[in-house]
Structure 1
């Protein structure tokens, strides 16, 4: 870091001061007719103008190439609308700076070239602004000039409009975009190149003067005045600082208006880049030295005090730093210092715009991480609901049984009482009512308690669905219209899903499988009814046949019919046939009841699967469909945004590499 701690240069001698006084001619303030005229108009007339007969140098050509690529990249990275036109990530701000750089680097045949070096001085706060004015006054003022000339310099801001944000101080008068002060100052003449000194208002004035900030960035030598008592040096490199500063400019100078200390020096080394020149200057002490000498120019004591205070103010270090910048040139001797410094300024602004792009893209990546974090929270809630809801609805398995199994076991016991009461002898007079009795019993005992619980949990799912829907829509509404994650299409999709009739969770949503499975039991009951009728019909036939055999034996005993059997045999045969028929009917009915119980078991097993499938379907297609769609849509947006940022990051890195190569070649 180039930090000036102690300056050994002494104050100008009296003979030099007399010589400067002879060179000081006049101080006249000129205010342009239109303060909003473009800089292009102000640079049309140069301090010394010349026709650009030579071709562009290699550094300028390569810088222009990188500038064109950067200009085409900026609209694809930086936002086009921002809260302030001077924020570090504002497209309009950097686009205008790059346009200024293009005007400085490009050569138009027949046009006049500006050979002045732009020197800008700006304070960061109200106190620094006052000290910056004292600094400029101490540089320009001659102690042996007339009082009128001194007053013209000291009251320069009183001669310009109140809304003026800058004063352009020059040796001769020519049009500028700012209020113009014509000063024939020896300080301006002693520099190795023509200089246009632009004094800016503080960047902290509300609203921030955007023109001042842009002028500071377009300066070839930006001088920033800071008082650490009011503006901490650490905040200057903080991204939250309200105004961008050209601290990375290779010729930037930071003037700290306080005494040097080891602690302050270590803080400066840790905060600022090595290319930044940091000077510790006391402008008020320099003005005091000039006042002492002006009051008594022939007094040896006054001269000594002048020299002590002028040296103690260390203001000469600023002159030496500016002279060193103007004297160091790597271009051919035919090139003016302004041409070389314009290239450096353009490279600094290109680097600043690329840094703004990288900062914006880095912040965009953090924004993606934030969105992914929100999505993770919503997904965790979804997965938690998928785990908790089945346990709440069906209960945890306890001793091998859950809510569904417990309800089925109870129903089996209740229906078993009815089935056990259906004995074969009761079928003799109730066989036609069998289906009605069984269906009524099934309707009465088939998981009634479970059905009420499912209706209750359906209401809870409706509330959970509403909560998830609100959370999903609030998440989408939290993104501002300028955010890449603001998607009216996705919001419309969620609204369309939440308004369809199939989205509603009603009382029958979970209990519907109970009805379906209960209806399935009607077919086994009908088959049981038919089997009972056939059994009774077969038993009746068998009994009638047995009675016929007994009757035949009795008739044969009377000699009316010869059947070839003894009466006792015929009676026994008839009784055996009747007993066999009754036994067959009983076995057939019991077999039919066993088949009915098997069907009951299959229906019961299917009921458990259907209830769980219905719950899963309800959760997937009704309760969680909106948050799932929101997560899916935002995930797609984040994936596309991440790919886009990665691609832009590669372009920024490539341009930074090209700029670093061009910058190293131009040094």
Structure 2
């Protein structure tokens, strides 16, 4: 039997523990400085077999290092937008993932042996995690009372929440580190190290989080997490709905006779997370069986009772599950032990990389879910805006198209804009019909003034009054839609909407956003000004040119008639025209003059009427655009 000694004075820790306490370089710096060929820190070999083994190890680990490099670049980009899980208490922070990837880099770039990290965590005090660890590490047939006492009192003198139990030749307890000559830690392909967490108080589980973020981070750093849960006290569904690492073993603390549908329980595992292995055990029964055997009596009946109780507890199923996870096929051409260690380290490192990629996939899926939800809500708000716009246009402006001329059974509703323009057109026709050519000649310099004054009186006054009445109702609708927009942003706080919120706030306080009476009536004034500025001005210019042309024709005709009349008076009219190279009798000259004057007047009348027709064509085009402007406004 191995000699056990219980000491209270601290001593030097094992080499593996000391190495883990050294400062780790940053992952990005390590990946940038490591070359593709020298990524494994193997010493220079002196034999051919050692050189070939090192080369094979480096070749095997080169692809995982490349995957690690790509994962380290992807993870920060995904973590930037995956804050929902952190707020819900079921996710890891970026710093935790960086630490995990640093451990992966050390496993892939170093060939120095390290123990397998087994983490045991009990969800609550009734989960029996202490009894479970005692049942795993106890050796009742070979251990000394001092070793059993160290294992029994391991939490008595430890104020921390974490114990590290490793293999040692002598039983030793030094703070949060314990060494035990437990054969259980040496039965796997590589030496094992057990991390035991103190069971949390019930006050923490009352918050609805079965596993705290700190403990969850430690579980992801371990190689094989073992989580114990008593379904009678804690919610097993909550534990399974938490994203757990690869190779996780969930131990259900219950009697084997209790019926449990494991497939139904696994349905609670998140979509992208790996499914843990579920085992039903009774750690308390196994611990009591060990205590019975350690009581001093070693009769055959006591041994039989121990075997029956320990086998009924089903704790050995956990050992079988660990062996199946850690089982490796060593390379027959190389050192079997070293090859098994290297293969196991690479496989466990790939499991951590898989956890990181699963986290990225779950985060992207979560972001996609929130984006789809935000898109659906935004689409519903957009549909509501379009519905309100169509309703407002129909209620305030009427239908888009004018009603048909046929007389239906019920009188259809008129287009308010078209009807208002039609009434204005009828009033302006009276004004323009009274503005005959001879009035134009008399008031040629007042054409624009007269038409503008008539437009000021007749241009859609009823429509303008209705729009002014509806201003208050439109302002209420605008306020309601603005509030709905900000409520939509508040509903989806997970998404980064600060830029959009700032844009909406700027638009809300901008002068163009404030609904006033001038905004609604602006198209009416703009179209009226357009009629005055362009068609009316052009009609004014046409009137001036017509008067000048008519005056020139009348004066010219009068001049010809006067020359003929003067020649007739003096009897030398032919002589006057002869001096101009023309042969015309005085009577003929007076007729030509009168005809020229009349033709000039007739030309002026036609030119004026043609100018008014063009003015009406422009009027109709501008009137048709008024309806479009108001609907856009």
| TM category, shorter | 0.5 to 0.7
2:623 alignment partner in structure 1: 608
2:65 alignment partner in structure 1: 67
Deviations 1:257-299 (A, max 9, x none): 2234665244356667998544321111122223334446156
Question: In 1, Cα distance between the equivalents of 2:324 and 2:445?
Answer: 117
Determine if contact 1:125/1:202 at 8 Å carries over to the other structure.
yes
**CA shift in 2, pair 1:462/1:598, >3 Å:** farther
Determine if contact 1:219/1:345 at 8 Å carries over to the other structure.
no
User: Which residue of 255, 259, 266 corresponds with 1:259?
Assistant: 255
**CA shift in 2, pair 1:86/1:337, >3 Å:** farther
Q: What is the SS of the residue equivalent to 1:167?
A: strand
Determine if contact 1:191/1:323 at 8 Å carries over to the other structure.
yes
Question: In 2, Cα distance between the equivalents of 1:378 and 1:270?
Answer: 35
User: Which residue of 425, 442, 457 corresponds with 2:454?
Assistant: 442
**CA shift in 2, pair 1:125/1:375, >3 Å:** same
Question: Once the 2 structures are TM-superposed, how far is the Cα of residue 190 of structure 1 from its aligned partner?
Answer: 6.4
**CA shift in 2, pair 1:179/1:610, >3 Å:** same
Q: What is the SS of the residue equivalent to 1:518?
A: helix
Correspondences of 1:242-391 after superposition (within 5 Å): 244-246=243-245, 248-249=246-247, 252-260=248-256, 263-267=260-264, 277-295=277-295, 297=297, 301-322=301-322, 328-331=328-331, 332-335=335-338, 338-373=341-376, 376-377=379-380, 380=383, 391=394
Question: Once the 2 structures are TM-superposed, how far is the Cα of residue 182 of structure 1 from its aligned partner?
Answer: 2.6
Correspondences of 1:141-160 after superposition (within 5 Å): 141=138, 143=140, 149-160=147-158
RCO greater where, 1 or 2, for CA within 8 Å and sep 6 or more? 1
Q: Return the TM-score normalized by structure 2.
A: 0.67
Deviations 1:448-476 (A, max 9, x none): 42562586399577777777777777767
User: Which residue of 144, 167, 188 corresponds with 1:170?
Assistant: 167
Determine if contact 1:32/1:180 at 8 Å carries over to the other structure.
no
1:41 alignment partner in structure 2: 20
1:409 alignment partner in structure 2: 422
Q: Return the TM-score normalized by structure 1.
A: 0.64
**CA shift in 2, pair 1:329/1:394, >3 Å:** same
Determine if contact 1:30/1:179 at 8 Å carries over to the other structure.
no
Task: Tell me whether 98-107 or 214-223 shows the greater mean CA deviation.
Answer: 214-223
CA RMSD of aligned residues (A): 5.7
**CA shift in 2, pair 1:491/1:394, >3 Å:** same
**CA shift in 2, pair 1:316/1:523, >3 Å:** closer
**What 5-or-longer segments of structure 1 have no aligned partner?**
1-21, 45-49, 547-555, 562-575, 624-667
Determine if contact 2:119/2:219 at 8 Å carries over to the other structure.
yes
User: Which residue of 516, 529, 532 corresponds with 2:530?
Assistant: 516
Determine if contact 2:553/2:600 at 8 Å carries over to the other structure.
yes
Q: Is 2:134 the partner of 1:137?
A: yes
Correspondences of 1:485-524 after superposition (within 5 Å): 487=499, 491=502, 495=506, 499=510, 506-507=518-519, 509-510=522-523, 511-519=525-533, 520-521=535-536, 523-524=538-539
Correspondences of 1:13-92 after superposition (within 5 Å): 22-23=1-2, 25-27=4-6, 40-42=19-21, 54=50, 55-56=53-54, 58=56, 61-78=59-76, 79=78, 83=86, 88=91, 90-92=93-95
How many residues are paired up? 558
Question: Once the 2 structures are TM-superposed, how far is the Cα of residue 312 of structure 1 from its aligned partner?
Answer: 1.7
Q: What is the SS of the residue equivalent to 1:159?
A: coil
Question: Once the 2 structures are TM-superposed, how far is the Cα of residue 160 of structure 1 from its aligned partner?
Answer: 0.7
1:651 alignment partner in structure 2: none
**What 5-or-longer segments of structure 2 have no aligned partner?**
24-41, 405-413, 562-568, 572-590
